[in-house]
Homo-oligomer: A and B are copies of this chain.
Amino acid sequence: MLRVGIVGGTGYTGAELLRILLRHPGVSLNVITSRGEAGQPVADLFPHLRGQVDLCFSEPDNAVLGDCDLVFFATPNGTAMQSVPDLLDRGVRVIDLAADFRLKDPALWERWYGIPHQCPDLLEEAVYGLPELNRESIRGARLIANPGCYPTAVTLGFLPLLAGGVVDPSWLIADAKSGVSGAGRKATTGLLMAEVGESFKAYSVTGHRHEPEITQNLAQFAGVRANLTFVPHLLPMIRGIEATLYARLTDPGVDLDRLYADRYADEHFIDLMPGGHPDTRSVRGANQCRIAVARPGSGDIVVVQSVIDNLVKGAAGQAVQNMNLMFGLQESMGLESVALLP
C-alpha cells in the first residue's frame, strides 16, 4: 500500500482527492493537513465523508509528511513551492495540484502569479502531468505539476489537430466555460449563489493564467508557438468544463474523426463522440474527457467540443492517474466509477 499525504485538504480539490483515494485499493491515506482546520475531524467539514474517514486535519509538518511515499498539494498557488524541495530531499514524491510547477519559465510564472518563484531550479525537472501527452516522463517523475482544469480540456481538444499539423497554429480560439467549483471554496461575494446562479458571463477576457499554460502545451506538439485567444466563462452550475475550440484547417482533405481516433486509440480516459454533442453531466464525477470534432458546412473551420469534470479529469482524478503511473499501478486503478447522471 502506498502511503500518501494531502497538504491543504479543505478545498474542493482536496475533498475530491479524498473521495477517490478512500476507495483506491492501493493507497493508505496517512495524513491530511490544514492550517486553518488543524484538529478538526475531516468528516466534520465534509459531511459526505462521515463514516468514510477517521482522520483529523493536522498542521502541515514535513517530518510527518516525510513518512509518505507521495504527497499531494491541494493548496493555493505559491504554497507548494515552499515545501517541495525539502520533501523531495526526504525522498518523498510530490504531485502539486496548484500551478507552482506548471510553467517552465520562472519569469512568466512571476508575471502571472505575482510573486517570485521559490525554486526555479525544479521547474525543469517537474513533469507536466497530462498522461495523454507525457505518459512516459510521468512514470519516472519525482515531481508532477498537475495540469489546470481549463488547460486539460483545451489541450486534449487541440492536440490531434496541432500534432497532426492540419490547422494553422497562428490563430486558435478557445471559448471555455466552467462550473463554479473551479473557482474554489473561498468566501468571496462574487461566488455567492445569489450572484452567480441563473446568470452567465465571461471573465478575464484580456488575459487568464491558464493561457500561458495552454500555450506552453500547444507549443510542445505544434512545434511552433501557437497563437491562442482564450476566453473563460462562469457557468451557473457546480461541476464541469466545456471548451469549444475553433481552428482553421490548412489541410482540407483531412479525415478529422480518423485523426482523433488514431491519436487517442489507446487512451482509456478519452471518449470520442463523432457527430455528437458531449455534455458535462456525462462526465460528472468521472475521470473522463469526451470530445467531438465537427466541420460546419464542410468549410475550413474546425469546431472541437471537449468536456471534463473540472474536479476529476481537471484536478483530483488526473492527479490519481499520475500517481498510478508514477508507482507502476494500473493507470485506471481507483478511477473507474461511472459518472453520476442525472
A residues lining the B interface (CB < 8 Å): 12, 15, 19, 22-23, 46-52, 171, 173, 175, 177, 179-181, 183, 185-189, 191-203, 205-207, 227, 229-231, 233, 235-240, 242, 244, 246, 248, 271, 273, 276-286, 290, 292, 294-297, 299, 301, 303, 305, 307, 311, 336-342
Contacts and interface: CB of A to CB of B under 8 A. Distances in A.
B181 A47 contact: no
B341 A200 contact: no
A12 B194 contact: yes
B229 A338 contact: no
B48 A341 contact: yes
Contacts of A276: 47
A338 B23 contact: yes
A330 B102 CA distance: 45
B171 A294 contact: no
Given A187-B187, A205-B296, 19 more contacts: A15-B341, A47-B282, A185-B189, A198-B239, A198-B240, A199-B281, A199-B284, A200-B237, A200-B240, A200-B242, A202-B305, A205-B292, A205-B294, A206-B294, A206-B296, A229-B296, A233-B242, A233-B244, A340-B340
Contacts of A230: 296
Nearest to A205: B294
Given A229-B246, A235-B236, A340-B340, A196 B193 contact: yes
A179 B276 CA distance: 20
A291 B278 CA distance: 29
A338 B197 contact: no
B280 A199 contact: yes
B279 A201 contact: yes
Nearest to A51: B271
Given A201-B307, A244-B202, A337-B337, A191 B194 contact: yes
Nearest to A12: B342
A298 to B, nearest CB: 9
A199 B279 contact: yes
Contacts of A248: 171
B278 A229 contact: no
A15 B280 CA distance: 17
B297 A207 contact: yes
Contacts of A277: 201-203, 205
Scoring A187, A202, A276 by chain B CB atoms within 10 A of each residue's CB, the highest score goes to A202
Contacts of A193: 180, 191-193, 195-197, 236, 238
A181 B205 contact: no
Scoring A51, A171, A201, A277 by chain B CB atoms within 10 A of each residue's CB, the highest score goes to A201
A185 to B, nearest CB: 6
27 contacts: A47-B341, A48-B286, A175-B246, A177-B177, A179-B200, A180-B197, A185-B189, A186-B189, A187-B188, A193-B193, A197-B342, A198-B238, A198-B239, A199-B240, A199-B284, A200-B237, A201-B278, A202-B242, A205-B292, A205-B296, A206-B295, A231-B244, A233-B242, A233-B244, A236-B236, A285-B340, A337-B337
